[in-house]
Amino acid sequence: MQHHSACAPPACGRAMIRLRNLCLTVGGAANGGRGRIVLDQANCDIPQGGFRWLLGPSGAGKSTLLRALQLAHPPERGTLEVLGADPAHAGRRATARLRRRIGAVHQDYRLLPELSVFDNVALPLRLDGMAERSIREEVDAILSWLRISPLRDRSPRYLSGGEQQRTAIARALVKRPGLLLADEPTNALDETESLRLVRLFEELSGLGTTVVIATHNPALPRLVPARALVLDGRGQMVESAP
């Protein structure tokens, strides 16, 4: 991979993610109010439909950056724009609307064990007030796409790790988000399923969804070559070409 000192601007269209002199810290309360800097003076533009790997060693700040992009971790300094909007200057309702356009796949899945697979995936649509008939159509389509339709009535308690992972991914995708953030999405999958999932993310990117996938697995970017944001663990971020 060829490395550059800063992320390149989008080739066309407006940036769906824009970082300007962004600084992110963690652990301020545990360090007397002075957080550890995990990202310092970061600049980046990712266009609509952009696909980016987010790479770096454990503890480098990949999950923290994903939380910031999900509007769940305010920057210490600098500018963060997501889906063309700056949440720092948006009201509460506008920020809530923005969050609903972001799909996230977490390492711990965050499935509700008291709900079936179908109802876990349907939950975001029900919270948005979608009609039940439309919900059934949307959920059935995404379950079929991810090949987990036979699991629709089962509780997550009785699923394998890979099945739970695919259910979490279905929930993240069912609203057709403008931005998809995935934190180690292939941890519970074998090589064949990992390749299939990454190809699915690539397909979503081709349809216009901006995709950012964090991983510490160096083999994944070789499955689907794409530009990568590389965190060095010392606060610096560079972009690498495929």
Query: pLDDT category, 77, cuts 50, 70, 90?
Result: very high
The DSSP call for residue 206 is H
Using one digit for the tens of pLDDT, what is the confidence trace for 181-239?
999 988 878 888 888 889 889 999 999 999 999 998 888 898 888 999 999 989 999 98
111 phi and psi, to 5 degrees?
-85, 150
Q: Is the pLDDT of residue 28 over 70?
A: no
Tell me the C-alpha distance between 93 and 99, whole Å.
10
Q: How distant, in Å, are the alpha carbons of 52, 76, 189 from that of 65?
A: 13, 12, 24
Query: pLDDT category, 13, cuts 50, 70, 90?
Result: low
Query: pLDDT category, 33, cuts 50, 70, 90?
Result: low
Tell me the C-alpha distance between 224 and 214, whole Å.
14
Q: Is the pLDDT of residue 71 over 90?
A: yes
Concatenate the DSSP letters of all residues of 102-167 into one string.
EEEE-TT----TTS-HHHHHHHHHHHTT--HHHHHHHHHHHHHHTT-GGGTTS-GGGS-HHHHHHH
Q: Is the pLDDT of residue 3 over 70?
A: no
Query: pLDDT category, 1, cuts 50, 70, 90?
Result: very low
Query: pLDDT category, 6, cuts 50, 70, 90?
Result: very low
pLDDT of amino acid 117: 98
Token pair of 124, please?
């975001």
pLDDT of amino acid 10: 38
Rounded to the nearest integer, the mean pLDDT of the chain is 88
pLDDT of amino acid 188: 77
Residues in a beta bridge with 181: 104, 212
Per the CB < 8 A criterion, the answer to whether 85 and 79 are in contact is no
Tokens 């060829």 label which residue? 2
pLDDT of amino acid 39: 93
pLDDT of amino acid 12: 44
- Using alpha carbons only, give the angle 182, 107, 134 rounded to the nearest 5 degrees: 60
Residue 150 makes CB contacts below 8 A (sequence gap 6+) with none
Burial environment of residue 78 by CB neighbours within 10 A (0 to 12, 13 to 18, 19 or more): middle
Using one digit for the tens of pLDDT, what is the confidence trace for 122-162?
999 999 999 999 999 999 999 998 899 999 999 999 999 88
Per the CB < 8 A criterion, the answer to whether 38 and 26 are in contact is yes
Using one digit for the tens of pLDDT, what is the confidence trace for 84-109?
899 888 888 999 999 999 999 988 88
Strand ranges of the sheet holding 102-105, from the earlier edge strand across to the other edge: 3-4, 237-240, 228-231, 51-55, 210-214, 179-183, 102-105
Which H or E element spans position 36? strand 36-47
164 phi and psi, to 5 degrees?
-65, -40
Tokens 């993610």 label which residue? 17
